[in-house]
């Protein structure tokens, strides 16, 4: 087996591991009421997958989560949870943009 095939297989296995971890973590933390009401660690495997495997793999892992948790749109249109997720995502991006604009006007390094 050459090095390229080994690398692709390794990336695929790691992506599956991060996806499985992301599917299991909400169930594990949700089963403990004190932790489940404060913490939803589903985003951590997506971030780790993006850092370890690169952006395209992180995007694929995140898309798989969106599909599995009912955030992805279907032929009938977007779901209610998907709409809420989009609004939250836009709010976060706008907050980051405003903060970066404010910091650049003050002359601070990003």
Domain boundaries, the chain: 1-69, 73-110
pLDDT of residue 7 exceeding 90, the answer is no
pLDDT tens column, 67-105: 777 777 777 788 888 888 889 889 989 998 999 898 888
Other Cβ atoms within 10 Å of 18 Cβ, number: 25
Which pLDDT score, from 0 to 100, does residue 38 have? 74
Percentages of the chain per state (helix, strand, coil), in multiples of 5:
75, 0, 20
Burial of residue 45 (number of CB atoms within 10 Å: 0-12, 13-18, 19+): buried
Mean pLDDT, the chain, integer: 82
Q: Could you report the per-residue pLDDT of 49-70, keeping only the tens digit for each?
A: 889 998 888 888 888 887 777 7
* Cα 81 to Cα 76: distance, rounded to the nearest angstrom: 14
């Amino acid at each position: 087996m050459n090095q390229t095939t080994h690398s692709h297989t390794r990336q695929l296995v790691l992506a599956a591991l991060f996806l499985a971890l992301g599917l299991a973590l909400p169930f594990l933390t949700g089963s403990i009421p004190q932790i489940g009401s404060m913490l939803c660690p589903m985003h951590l495997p997506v971030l780790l997958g993006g850092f370890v495997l690169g952006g395209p793999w992180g995007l694929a892992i995140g898309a798989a989560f969106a599909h599995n948790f009912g955030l992805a749109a279907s032929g009938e249109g977007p779901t209610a949870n998907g709409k809420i997720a989009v609004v939250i995502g836009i709010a976060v991006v706008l907050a980051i943009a405003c903060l970066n604009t404010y910091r650049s006007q003050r002359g601070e390094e990003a």
